[in-house]
Amino acid sequence: MDLYEYQGKELFRRFGIPTSEGRVASTPVEARAAAQELGGQVVVKAQVLTGGRGKAGGVKLADNPDDAEQTAEQILGLDINGHVVRKLWIEDASEIAKEYYLSVTFDRGAKQSLFMLTKEGGVEIEEVAANNPDALARLHVDPLEGYQPYQARQLIYGAGIDDQNEQKQLLSIIEQLYRCFVESDAMLCEINPLIVTPEGEIRALDSKFTVDDNALYRHPDIAEMRDLEAYPPEERAAREKNVTYVKLDGEVGILGNGAGLVMSTLDVIALAGGRPANFCDLGGGGDAQGVVDALEVITADPQVRSILFNIFGGITRGDVVARGILQALEQMTIEQPIVVRLDGTNAEEGREILAEAAPPNLHTEATMLDAARRAVELAA
């Protein structure tokens, strides 16, 4: 789960990382009030779950409350890389002497956390890595040994930061960022830019923060930060019904049991010349309610022209799934043709049950490839 800048900064603050004071605003009038409260020059920042806001005109300085209101008017509604701005962060403007970059993330290859620090902040880190790799200091932290202060010193010297006052502040920021990363179950904590003010004070001016979805149950306060309006409506409905669903761009609705099977079903649809409309995993179930919920979510997408059920019975039994499908079709009207491929435990019984009931618009196929071809044909 990606956090907005202002949410990431809230977590930074909890761990002692210095940030500027600010307020959230969702209308120009609120932006004016925020600027009034903060006093002096402010910066008005688009809150969207994508980077490059500065270049896209989503970060602007405002000298007074009037100016903040007008600037907010310009930025709200702006489309930044496909994300429409609905919220702003109004923050005390900083004076910037230098822009550094600091992040910690996973290095999956090394099976360790990886810190990166450079004096060349403010631009995309990929650019620094490509054009000036020597300026980028990298340092691994073994998760079992944990963070040791000497490591921060190595990182700081590696980046060529020789001002003692800066070194001292960075030493504690690096330690705090590591704690923030581990204790929040984060996958990425990135500060770009990490600024040095003309007075020599170091502060996080931006935040990019990703938390591991699978650990959210341990962090109800972070889970609550999820902004449902930032997701496609189909995914919002799925979340409410507890259906594992990801929207894609195609026309063939997909339903299967087991994430691996569903992933390969997406591939087979592509192989058959079609495009999947979604990823949807029924899990180990297959009972009528689970099928109804999943079908409701899948058919809410107006692009869906056919639906493919791909079921491999391991623990799930084919006859149970077949009955689930029939019951679901009694409870709801599905306009699109449905192709069912049943294999594994009690597949034969399942197919017989479907053949006997023979609901209109339902086709059974024995293999995954034939089922995919049929579904693609029917979607054409």
Give me the active site residues, please: 101, 190
Distance CA 223, CA 309 (A): 32
Burial class (CB in 10 A: 0-12, 13-18, 19+), 240: exposed
**Out of ligand GDP, Mn ion, none, which partner does residue 344 contact, by CB within 5 to 8 A per kind?**
none
**Out of Mn ion, ligand GDP, none, which partner does residue 43 contact, by CB within 5 to 8 A per kind?**
ligand GDP
Distance CA 259, CA 244 (A): 9
Closest approach of Cβ 165 to Mn ion, in Å?
24
Closest approach of Cβ 5 to ligand GDP, in Å?
6
Q: Closer CB to ligand GDP, residue 118 or residue 299?
A: 118
Distance CA 98, CA 121 (A): 8
**Out of ligand GDP, Mn ion, none, which partner does residue 102 contact, by CB within 5 to 8 A per kind?**
none
**Out of ligand GDP, Mn ion, none, which partner does residue 200 contact, by CB within 5 to 8 A per kind?**
none
Q: Closer CB to Mn ion, residue 205 or residue 328?
A: 205
Residues 58-117 close enough to bind Mn ion by CB under 5 A: none
Q: Would strands 338-344 and 306-313 be described as parallel, antiparallel, or unpaired? A: parallel
**Out of Mn ion, ligand GDP, none, which partner does residue 22 contact, by CB within 5 to 8 A per kind?**
none
**Out of Mn ion, ligand GDP, none, which partner does residue 52 contact, by CB within 5 to 8 A per kind?**
ligand GDP
Distance CA 123, CA 145 (A): 32
**Local structure of 43: helix, strand or coil:** strand
Closest approach of Cβ 183 to Mn ion, in Å?
23
Site size with Mn ion, rule: CB under 5 A: 2
206 binds Mn ion (CB under 5 A): yes
Q: Where along the sequence are the contacts to ligand GDP (CB under 6 A)?
A: 43, 51-54, 59, 93-94, 96, 99, 122, 192-193, 205-206
**Local structure of 9: helix, strand or coil:** helix
Closest approach of Cβ 181 to Mn ion, in Å?
18
120 binds Mn ion (CB under 5 A): no
Q: What are phi and psi of 96, to 5 degrees?
A: -115, 120
Distance CA 312, CA 258 (A): 9
30 binds Mn ion (CB under 5 A): no
- Measured from each CB, the residue nearest to ligand GDP is 54
Q: Closer CB to ligand GDP, residue 19 or residue 299?
A: 19
Region for residue 230 given its phi and psi (left: phi exceeds 0; alpha: psi -120 to 50; beta: otherwise): alpha
Nearest to 359 by CA among 379, 334, 376, 342: 334
Do 49 and 4 touch, CB atoms closer than 8 A? yes
Q: Closer CB to ligand GDP, residue 51 or residue 344?
A: 51
**Out of ligand GDP, Mn ion, none, which partner does residue 93 contact, by CB within 5 to 8 A per kind?**
ligand GDP
- DSSP annotation string for 155-222: HHHHTT---HHHHHHHHHHHHHHHHHHHHTTEEEEEEEEEEE-TTS-EEE---EEEE-GGGGGG-HHH
Looking up tokens 């020599």 gives: 200
Closest approach of Cβ 128 to Mn ion, in Å?
13
Q: Closer CB to ligand GDP, residue 105 or residue 112?
A: 105
- Measured from each CB, the residue nearest to Mn ion is 206
Looking up tokens 């932006």 gives: 31
Q: Closer CB to ligand GDP, residue 30 or residue 91?
A: 91
Largest CA distance in the chain: 81
Residues 165-194 close enough to bind Mn ion by CB under 5 A: 192
Q: Closer CB to Mn ion, residue 206 or residue 301?
A: 206
Do 100 and 117 touch, CB atoms closer than 8 A? yes
Closest approach of Cβ 138 to ligand GDP, in Å?
21
Closest approach of Cβ 4 to Mn ion, in Å?
13
Do 284 and 273 touch, CB atoms closer than 8 A? no
Binding residues for Mn ion (CB under 5 A)? 192, 206
